[in-house]
A and B are shown apart, each in its own frame.
Chain A
Amino acid sequence: MAVLSAHGIEAPLPPGFEGRIVIRAAIGREVPYPVANFSTFALPADVGDFGSGAVTLMGPSDIFATLFEYGPESLGKPLFARQAMPRALTASDFRPYVLRRGLNGQSGSQWFFTEAGRPFTLYVVLGSHVQRTLLIPRVNDLIGTVSIAPNLPSMATVTPSSTQSPQVSPAPVPARSTGAPWN
């Protein structure tokens, strides 16, 4: 089993999955953060963060998943209140209208959460909404083993000080988990 590991994300890949964990080049003044793409089909080199350029290549039995990290400014926001990534999705978690780009027959699920002090969204696309009960176990095999490490010091929020050495601010943790899926 191949194991992808970079930028504080580790993902043992179940059979048939390929993937990548990248920090893409910045566009303009943006600060890019790690993105992990997983698929059961050949990922194009220029795949978008949320699968543009890839989801159109999917067959009915294919799966595409993205784990997208947001910047530290998102920490503590209600959208990211859910603690920890969902590890077991069900058929009711998938909706055809959740897709970022509505493609006939496909289905999607999106979750915002905070894990290890890092804000993420998990976005999963199934090639066929009808076959979701067959495909979801494979999705769960994938997301069930993904691990996220706490922020690296270089990626954490740094509070500069003229007299003291820089201090890494701990990520604010919401008082309670009230997060919900995006669907």
Chain B
Amino acid sequence: MVALAIVLSVVVLLMAVLVAGLLRSHADILKALHELGVGVGEPGATDGHSHDGQRRHGPTVGSEAADPVRVPLTIGPPLPGERNATSAPPVAGMTPRGDALAIVVTGGEGLTLLAFLSSGCATCAGFWQAFRTPDQLGLPKGTRLVVVTKGAELEIPGEVAAQAPEGLPVVMSTDAWSDYEVPGSPFFVLVDGASGRRIGEGVANHFHQVVELVRRAQSDARVFTIGSRSRGLVDGLDGPERELDNDRELIDAGILPGDPTLYPSSLDDIYGPPGEERRRDADRPPISRAG
């Protein structure tokens, strides 16, 4: 009995030492995080945005505000205001046959439909099959179809070559997937060459859905181009510049930060009480849609 008590005492003592060590380690980690500026409720916390447009969590390193040092820490994907969501960079890479191919999707008059596909995904197989009869795709006249797969480091060129129809440009480029922020395959991006912008993007299970997406994006782009005075569209602004431009338009219209109209809590806050909408519209000058 005495032996058992001694053994238990030793075990309890060891456990106490272990717990103390863990607490000490935890405290060290918290202290290190605090020094890095990622602690919660840090008094010196900034608004979370750096001067270079990168989103960072936490304040600057060091408690002295006089000499701030930014923590190179980015958490999560870029926020909408930080993304260049409509830019359309060239697509360049290798073909499945080992040739080089670069396609510029801006500058011309027509549309370019970028089909981001994989050789292995089951849904993509239907698209590969559909592309074998390009005349029956139903795309608007003048639409250029380009298939983009990931690069040879993530795809097997032989398998892509086996699926790729003759005469269809197929570019293997992982960079293009990053440039266009492709979440997965299949994914389609429609670029308007004249404006040099992405005017539509999305996923689909069948190609007739893609054709519908193309038609809808085409008509939407036409409406916004005709009806908007926004510099965001006219000057091709995007990302942070576009947000700044929108802010300027709102300020010019008398809508300042904190304006209650920016925080509607009900539909009445947006459209006004029933019956007042018509009267308000008659009093108010027309405001174009921003960016």
Contact = CB atoms under 8 A, between A and B. Distances in A.
Contact of A2 (B92, B107, B112): B92
A71 B29 CA distance: 67
Most interface-central of A3, A4, A7, A17 (chain B CB within 10 A): A4
B168 interface: yes
Question: Interface residues of A toward B: which range?
Answer: 20 to 34
Interface in A9-26: 13, 16-23
B67 interface: no
Given A13-B90, A45-B168, A5 B108 contact: no
A5 B104 CA distance: 16
A17 B103 CA distance: 8
Contacts of A40: 104, 107
A22 B112 CA distance: 22
A155 interface: no
A125 B99 CA distance: 23
Contacts of A4: 92, 100-102
A7 B92 CA distance: 16
A46 interface: yes
Contact of B108 (A19, A22, A23, A41): A41
Contacts, number: 57
Contacts of B144: 42
Interface residues of B, number: 20
A135 to B, nearest CB: 15
Which of B92, B95, B100, B104 neighbours the largest number of chain A CB atoms within 10 Å of its CB? B100
B92 A6 contact: no
Nearest to A34: B99
A23 B99 contact: yes
A33 to B, nearest CB: 13
Contacts of A17: 102, 104
Interface of A: 2-7, 13, 16-23, 40-42, 45-46
Given A6-B98, A17-B102, 5 more contacts: A2-B90, A20-B95, A42-B108, A45-B168, A46-B167
